[in-house]
Amino acid sequence: MTLAVALMLYGSAVATLGPPVLRRLTRRGNAPRLGIIAWIVAIAGTLGAWTAAAAMLTFEFATYWGHPHDALRACLALLWTPMDADGSGAKQAATFAVGALVAASTIAVVARAVTVVTDMRRRTRSHARALRLVGRRVPGVDALVLDSPQRQAYCVPGQPDTIVVTSAALDALTRDQLAAVLAHEQAHLRGRHAPLTAVLRAIATTLPGLALVTVGSAEITRLLEMCADDKAADKHGCEPLLGGLLAILGVTEPVPDGALAAAGTAVLARAQRLVDPVSSLRLATTRTALLGVIATTVTGFAVITATVAFCSAILG
């Protein structure tokens, strides 16, 4: 019980302190990959700690569930707490009630997250099938061309993966810009960015009041775009990529759920990053700070678990 409480407090501390610290460190996108890892470690640490605590409390609940007479006696003892000298019955009843509540809440949250992920995956596959029916192939363009007045370029994961560029975007881009934009989308597909964003969106939808997840999901999506920018810039140079992003900046129609767009997320911040890269010293400082956050999060979880387990063993 003590370990469960400690893990719940640890998760709450990370959920509270994580967003402001990580947003400040990852705002500029100096080290996007490391920033993504830091956000994921914080989210996983919080949800992992709460899940472990929930499992422990659920185990307590299951213990009482296997002995209904004991549970009934514990509930009666709670009603007669003033007359109970040691209060052990009240403690057992409270444990039973908390365990039941945590078990039900955990099952509901997991079920909701699975439902959201399944629905997003179904819609993405449906959209990909529709694209293959209405899209067309153009010689020299390694993507499916969709006739549309909107300037868009995005990828849709599936079997097979599909990169889509609209006819309006194709008319607006030069050959080099088009190559850079397509390289950006290929980086998304090769890095399997879409499944990660789908899971994060599902968790954020399931836990809308948890800032660590809602803010973290948006920040990770933005950092993934920067990672794809880096891949495309390494292959085709910053200038064609920047020109391509600016050429399709007039997109007003949102891309479908599950798709990742070349110019759909934090374009101005990404453009500034391409035009004005940070110095080596600032990059090293950001990486050191992010590594410190990751180490602190992981170490904190391990230390709390080991300390409580050690103290419990001695006192037990």
Does 117 or 203 have the greater pLDDT score? Answer: 203
DSSP H or E run through 93: helix 88-134
Q: Per this entry, what is the length of the chain?
A: 316
User: pLDDT at position 251, please?
Assistant: 45
Task: Say if residues 96 and 71 touch (Cβ distance below 8 Å).
Answer: yes
Give residue 284's pLDDT band: very low, low, confident or very high (50, 70, 90): very high
Given a cut of 90, whether residue 9 has pLDDT beyond it is no
pLDDT at 83: 39
- Output the pTM of the full model: 0.79
pLDDT at 92: 58
Residue 259: predicted pLDDT: 57
Contacts of residue 309, defined as CB under 8 A and 6 or more positions apart, other chains included, come to 3
Among 6-15, 95-104, 202-211, which is the least confidently predicted range?
A: 95-104
What pLDDT is attached to residue 79? 42
CB atoms within 10 A of CB 223: 24
pLDDT reported for residue 177: 93
Would you state the structure tokens that stand for residue 14, as one six-digit string? Answer: 């990370």
Map tokens 């640890």 to a residue: 10
Give Rg (Cα) of the chain: 25
Q: What does 161-230 look like in DSSP terms, one character per residue?
A: -EEEEEHHHHHHS-HHHHHHHHHHHHHHHHTTHHHHHHHHHHHHHH-TT-HHHHHHHHHHHHHHHHHHHH
d(CA 49, CA 43): 10
**Which two structure tokens, joined as six digits, stand for 211?**
């800032």
Cα separation of 260 and 287, whole Å?
Answer: 26
- The pLDDT tens digits for 126-162 are 877 787 788 888 888 888 898 989 898 998 887 788 8
Range among 141-145, 174-178, 248-252 rated most confident: 174-178
- DSSP 8-state symbol, 276: S
pLDDT, tens digit (0-9, with 9 covering 90-100), for 190-233: 999 988 998 898 888 888 889 999 999 999 999 999 999 999 99
Share of the chain above pLDDT 70, in %: 76
Residue 93 clears pLDDT 80, i.e. is over it: no
Task: Report the pLDDT value the prediction gives residue 81, as an integer from 0 to 100.
Answer: 46
The whole-angstrom separation of Cα 253 and Cα 67 is 58
Give the strand pairing for 144-146 and 162-166: parallel
Estimate the crossing angle of helix 32-65 against helix 2-26, to 10 degrees.
160
> Using CB atoms within 10 A of its CB, is residue 308 exposed (0-12), middle (13-18) or buried (19+)?
middle
Nearest to 39 by CA among 220, 288, 197, 203: 220
What phi, psi does 105 have (nearest 5°)?
-65, -45
